[in-house]
């Protein structure tokens, strides 16, 4: 089955209308020696029932844990039913990038609303329509501020390893330098940053909260960066921004991050959504699509893709980025999620994250050998030491349908990175603590 409507007879008639003698004839431009002879080594066609059955079996070979204590860049929050329903509307799902504005007002307006949402969350002036994921957003932001005179990026050693790896790739390939500045007690150190800042540095990148869940002193980091003429880029957990000081309030020049927590399932890593927002003065440096409001000839409000002089299809090798397809449906999902939660709902989710994480940290760290690795305020993740082989702990918890926190290496040694969201309960934490007690005994 190839989803082709025309019958064999119709195909023959259509072929006749083209003037070709045969299907082979249509491919006469393909030289014979390059033709693939015979059939590809793929399985035979399967019925819909067989396909979904096979994929259900495949999905069944994954373990879906009842209880999660793992985050580290991918978070399980509750997704209201309305989010999936609206983001599944076929008119959104099966459309291309909205090049033809008049027939795409709904999608363009949804991008405009998404941009508004990101500006509200981050406090910044201008958002683009989104990029591939949070790590990619960080890499694009650093690229945005780099130039010949300032080719160096400084990133905190406390950023997520995934972000660090993607930053490394993008910087190395583009010939930009990337160095990491150190931390004290799990938090990026502005003193260590200052020692590395000079006039070759284009920007400084740090995450809010950082990989260990800790909130750093972004005001100090920003002051240090600005004093050296460098820009400040902060990567934030978007749900934390319902309550925590915004990148704009810290004085950052760009706010980026992973928007997966806003309505997207963990799904083995994707699709997710990177958000990017800047001050008004830097709007034309942003990569990617941007929707803007204007009017039509009758004076009606109309939305369009705008500031396209930055983009690859106009500027080719002089474009600010190569981005074409982004993660539009994920941006719509994030917008619907935030509108469903509302300011009260998002704040409630954030406060539950904070409160459950604090309760879990108190209880877990009271178990012998599981003391807190770092001091300081954390959002919904924290690191404890681990007195046993982490693999054994993972297995023990898995037997109880729990996904253990992530085993991590820190500058103070190995530990477990625990994560709590509003999906967790006090009862789950109490059960976890009992199991930890059994393994540490």
Partner 1 sequence: MKGTIFEKSRPGRSGFTLPAFDCEYERIPEQLLRGGPPLLPEVAEVDLVRHYTALSRESFGVDCGFYPLGSCTMKYNPKIGEDAAALSGFTDIHPLQPEDSAQGCLEALGTLGGYLCEITGMDAISLQPAAGAHGEFTGLSMIKAYLGATGHEEKKKVLVPDSAHGTNPASAVMAGFTVVSIPSAADGTVDLDALRGALGEDTAALMLTNPNTLGLFEKNIAAVAGMVHEVGGLLYYDGANLNAVMGITRPGDMGFDVMHLNLHKTFATPHGGGGPGSGPVACKSFLAPYLPGPVVDRTTQGFCLRQPKHSVGRVKAFNGNFLVCVRALAYLMTLGAAGVREAAENAVLNANYLLAKLRGTYDAPYGGRCMHEFVLSLEQLKKSTGIGATDIAKGLIDLGMHPPTVHFPLIVREAMMIEPTETESRETLDAAAEAMLRLYETARTDPGALRAAPSGSPVGRPDEAAAARNPVLRG
Restricting to residues 363-392, name those near partner 1 by CB under 8 A.
377
Q: Please select the residue that binds partner 1; options are 67, 126, 201, 386, rule is CB under 8 A.
A: 126
Rounded distance between C-alpha atoms, residue 91 and residue 131, angstroms: 21
Name the strand (E) or helix (H) holding 301: strand 301-305
Among 151, 182, 251, 270, binds partner 1 (CB under 8 A): 270
Q: Report d(CA 196, CA 230) in Å as an integer.
A: 12
Q: Which residues contact 156 (CB under 8 A, 6 or more apart)?
A: 180, 181, 183, 188, 193, 204, 205, 206, 207, 210, 216, 221
Q: Which of 141, 156, 201, 354 is close enough to bind partner 1 by CB under 8 A? A: 354
Binding mask 17-56 for partner 1 (x = CB under 8 A): xxxx--x--xxxxxx-xxxx--xxxxxxxx-x-xxx-xxx
Q: Does 110 bind partner 1 (CB under 8 A)?
A: yes
User: Least distance in Å: CB of 440 to partner 1?
Assistant: 21
* Residue 262 sits in the site that holds partner 1 (CB under 8 A): no
Nearer to partner 1, 399 or 441 (CB): 399
Task: For partner 1, give the closer residue by CB, 26 or 191.
Answer: 26
Single out the residue of 243, 249, 258, 215 nearest to residue 375, CA to CA.
215
Residue with tokens 């491919």: 27
For partner 1, which stretch binds (CB under 8 A), given 128-136, 147-155, 190-198, 222-230?
128-136
Site stretch for partner 1 (CB under 8 A), options 124-132, 191-199, 365-373, 433-441? 124-132
Among 188, 197, 234, 346, binds partner 1 (CB under 8 A): 346
Residue 419: both structure tokens together: 């994560």
- Residue 106 engages partner 1 in binding (rule: CB under 8 A): yes
Helix or strand holding residue 238 (H, E) = none
Q: List Cβ neighbours of 184 (8 Å cut-off, separation of 6 or more).
A: 191, 192
Is there a contact between 187 and 376 (Cβ–Cβ < 8 Å)? yes
| Min CB(158)–partner 1 separation in Å | 16
Element (H, E) at 204: strand 201-208
CB of 183 to partner 1, least distance (A): 18
- 14 forms part of the interface with partner 1 (CB under 8 A): yes
Taking CB under 8 A as the rule, does residue 283 contact partner 1? yes
**CA separation, residue 149 to residues 53, 142, 198, 233, 384 (Å):** 58, 14, 11, 19, 42
Question: How many C-beta atoms surround the C-beta of residue 290 within 10 A?
Answer: 22
Q: What is the CA 202 to chain-centroid distance, rounded? A: 23
**Site for partner 1 contains 347 (CB under 8 A):** yes
Query: Could you say whether residue 183 binds partner 1 (CB under 8 A)?
Result: no
Q: Give least dist CB 2 to partner 1, A.
A: 4
**Of the residues 152, 157, 225, 258, which one makes contact with partner 1 according to CB under 8 A:** 258
End-to-end CA distance of the chain: 59
Q: What are phi and psi of 119, to 5 degrees?
A: -65, -40
User: For residues 295-334, which are near partner 1 according to CB under 8 A?
Assistant: 295-298, 300-304, 306-309, 311-319, 321-330, 332
User: Exactly one of 147, 148, 149, 344 binds partner 1 (CB under 8 A); which one?
Assistant: 344
Q: Does 148 bind partner 1 (CB under 8 A)?
A: no
| Token pair belonging to 152 | 């160096």
Structural contact between residues 177 and 189, judged by C-beta atoms closer than 8 angstroms? no
Residue with Cβ nearer partner 1 (158 or 335): 335
Q: Tokens in use for 341?
A: 């939660």
Q: Which of 21, 67, 113, 189 binds partner 1 (CB under 8 A)?
A: 113
Select from 112, 121, 110 the least CA-distant residue to 87.
110
* CA distances for 14 relative to 3, 6, 21, 30, angstroms: 17, 9, 11, 21
Beta carbon nearer to partner 1, 128 or 197 = 128
Smallest distance, partner 1 to C-beta of residue 201, A: 20
Residue 157 vs 197, nearer CB to partner 1: 157
Q: Is 121 in the site for partner 1 (CB under 8 A)?
A: yes
Residues 161-180 that bind partner 1 (CB under 8 A): 162-163, 165-166, 168-170, 172-175
Task: Work out whether 396 is an interface residue with partner 1 (CB under 8 A).
Answer: no
């Amino acid at each position: 089955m190839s989803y082709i409507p025309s019958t064999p007879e119709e195909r023959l008639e259509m072929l006749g209308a083209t003037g070709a003698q045969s299907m082979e004839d249509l491919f006469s431009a393909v030289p014979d020696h390059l033709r693939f002879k015979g059939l590809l080594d793929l399985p035979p066609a399967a019925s819909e029932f067989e396909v979904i059955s096979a994929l259900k079996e495949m999905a069944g070979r994954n373990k879906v844990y009842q209880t999660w204590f793992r985050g580290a860049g991918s978070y399980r929050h509750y997704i209201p039913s309305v989010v999936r329903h609206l983001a599944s509307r076929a008119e959104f799902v099966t459309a291309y990038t909205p090049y033809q504005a008049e027939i795409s007002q709904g999608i363009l307006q949804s991008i405009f609303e998404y941009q508004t949402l990101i500006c509200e969350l981050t406090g910044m002036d201008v958002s683009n329509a989104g990029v591939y994921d949070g790590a990619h957003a960080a890499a694009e932001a650093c690229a945005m501020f780099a130039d010949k005179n300032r080719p160096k990026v400084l990133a905190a050693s406390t950023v997520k390893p995934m972000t660090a790896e993607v930053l490394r790739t993008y910087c190395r390939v583009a010939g930009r330098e990337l160095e990491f500045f150190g931390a004290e007690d799990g938090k990026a150190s502005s003193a260590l940053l200052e020692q590395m800042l000079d006039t070759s540095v284009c920007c400084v990148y740090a995450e809010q909260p950082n990989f260990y869940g800790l909130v750093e002193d972004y005001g100090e980091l920003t002051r240090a960066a600005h004093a050296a003429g460098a820009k400040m880029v902060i990567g934030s957990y978007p749900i934390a921004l319902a309550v925590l000081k915004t990148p704009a309030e810290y004085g950052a020049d760009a706010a980026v991050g992973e928007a997966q927590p806003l309505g997207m399932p963990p799904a083995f890593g994707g699709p997710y959504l990177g958000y990017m927002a800047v001050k008004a003065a830097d709007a034309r440096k942003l990569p990617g699509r941007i929707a803007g409001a204007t009017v039509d000839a009758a004076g009606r409000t109309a939305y369009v893709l705008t500031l396209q002089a930055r983009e690859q299809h106009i500027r080719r090798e002089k474009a600010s980025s190569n981005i074409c397809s982004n993660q539009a449906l994920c941006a719509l999902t994030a917008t619907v999620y935030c509108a469903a939660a509302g300011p009260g709902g998002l704040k409630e989710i954030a406060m539950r994250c904070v409160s459950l994480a604090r309760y879990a940290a108190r209880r877990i760290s009271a178990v012998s050998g599981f003391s807190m690795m770092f001091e300081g305020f954390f959002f919904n993740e924290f690191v404890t030491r681990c007195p046993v082989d982490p693999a054994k702990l993972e297995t023990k918890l898995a037997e109880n349908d729990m996904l253990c926190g992530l085993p991590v290496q820190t500058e103070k040694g190995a530990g477990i990175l625990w994560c709590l969201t509003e999906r967790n309960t006090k009862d789950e934490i109490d059960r976890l603590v009992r199991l930890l007690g059994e393994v540490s005994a």
